[in-house]
Amino acid sequence: MTPANPSSFKDPDGSIIYKDGSLFRLISQTYKGHYNTLITSGLYKELSEAHMLINHEEVDPINFNTEYKNIYKVLKPQLIPFISYPYEWSFMQLKAAALLTLDIQLKALEKNMWLKDANCSNIQFIGVDPIFIDTSSFENYSENSPWPAYGQFCRHFLGPLLLFAYKKPELSNLSIAYSDGIPLNIVSYSLPSRTKLNFFIFLHIHYHATLEMKFNRDVSFRKKKLMLSKSRLIALITHLKSGIQKLDIKIDKSEWSDYYKTFSYSNENYSQKQKAVLSFIESAHPNILLDMGCNEGEFSLLCSQKVKYIIATDSDAVVVNNLAKKLSHLKIKNILPLAVNMAHPTPGIGLFNKEHTSFIERASFDAILALALIHHLAIGHNIPFELIAEQFAAWAPQLLIEFVPKEDSQVQKLLITKKDIYSLYTQEHFLRSFNFFYRIKEQYPLDNSGRILFWMETHA
């Protein structure tokens, strides 16, 4: 039997499997009534046509019945260009995902349905546009009942957003440690005391956390049945939506947000670098490109009209958020910005560390841009050239990498607080190390800077 994807084991109503190189969702007989309502009510059509819910086609289940029992439908969903997770998203992306979840919940209630869960993994991004991917998350509405996914929504979306907005971007990454969202008591404890004076935050986080603790300690409290009319439920969802819409982060500056105003080479060098990147892209013809250390995406934007899809990563959450805002404003759909530190790529988490796969496992590209990055990896993080080259070669056959000499002011900044133990940080050793995995196809020196861009290709 083809095993279910590890990310879908919690929902037997709609397991995800890979079969013969394609992705399928198996709708079980137990979900038949809910699925029929989703289709016949027009909810699926409305959401998919609005690009809020992933499109799918129904396929003949005959090829699946021998392996699986109790199948009602087999769906073949639209594929996402690159899977990402909330702890890799910018504040803007997480906010957009939260609002999409609430908008879908409101539209579902209009059709007498609702979302049975509010797991952040139900959302993926195509560029900076969120899309809901869990077709089996819809259920028939239960009259006068509270939304069963309310607590999960607050743990997965609201808590991380508030930590992002009121504390530090890094705190939202606590979701890596908690597969079902950051516990509300941790969020409540971490937020500034003044947030208790904010009715929205007090209600949905601080008071909510208190009720959860009481529920866990008091058996009699757990036995009480909470009644909630549909109108009050809609009011609750609308209140959540209104509060999240008002959230923003005050920080748009960071150590690297002014990089393009302070870099160490001339305008002429920058123009040479742009020409080198375009020459590489036009010759290598990548369909999917990884721009590592993208900063605010200047070179991703430069390549966007010539590359089908670009994954733009940077370790600085502020510049990634600035890039996401820029992409939304420019309505550019083929760049996915992610906060990923290439020295410590996102790990696999959840069941057997496979429920959410690591960035390394997801990384498969046609080409990599690694511009002004090598010194951060080799000196900033003490990673040998050989290991960097080996990892890059595993991810993509084509590479445009910029070597920055030790004399460069940007490298010297890294050495201010470090002992210079980097005798092997030389162009000669760099090339010797990379030659184990690559051959050089072209060189693009930046005049009078000591910097050189190398177009490399893995050995056949």
302 in the same domain as 232: no
- State the residue range of the domain holding 42: 6-77
The answer to whether position 177 is within a domain reads yes
Instruction: Kindly report the pTM of this predicted structure.
Output: 0.92
269 in the same domain as 214: no
Q: What is the C-alpha separation between 287 and 396, in angstroms, rounded?
A: 11
pLDDT digits (tens, 9 = 90+) for 309-347: 999 999 999 999 999 999 999 999 999 999 999 999 999
The answer to whether position 330 is within a domain reads yes
Q: What is the CATH number of the domain that holds 344?
A: 3.40.50.150
The answer to whether residue 2 scores a pLDDT higher than 50 is no
- State residue 390's pLDDT score: 96
- Decide which of 47, 77, 107 is a domain's last residue: 77
Rounded to the nearest integer, the mean pLDDT of the chain is 91
Element (H, E) at 284: helix 267-284
Q: What is the C-alpha separation between 13 and 63, in angstroms, rounded?
A: 19
Angle of CA points 263, 306, 292, to nearest 5°: 40
406 in the same domain as 330: yes
- State residue 1's pLDDT score: 40
223 in the same domain as 326: no
pLDDT digits (tens, 9 = 90+) for 345-382: 999 988 788 888 999 999 999 999 999 999 999 999 99
Q: What is the C-alpha separation between 230 and 150, in angstroms, rounded?
A: 14
Tokens for 123? 């959302």
The answer to whether position 323 is within a domain reads yes
The answer to whether position 252 is within a domain reads no
The answer to whether position 375 is within a domain reads yes
pLDDT digits (tens, 9 = 90+) for 402-433: 999 999 999 999 999 899 999 999 999 999 99
Question: Helices 91-110 and 159-166 sit at what angle, rounded to 10 degrees?
Answer: 150
pLDDT digits (tens, 9 = 90+) for 164-177: 999 887 776 788 88
Element (H, E) at 190: helix 184-190
Amino acid letter for position 317? A
Element (H, E) at 438: strand 438-445
CA 248 from centroid of its chain's CA atoms: 19
- Decide which of 246, 273, 293 is a domain's last residue: 246
237 in the same domain as 106: yes
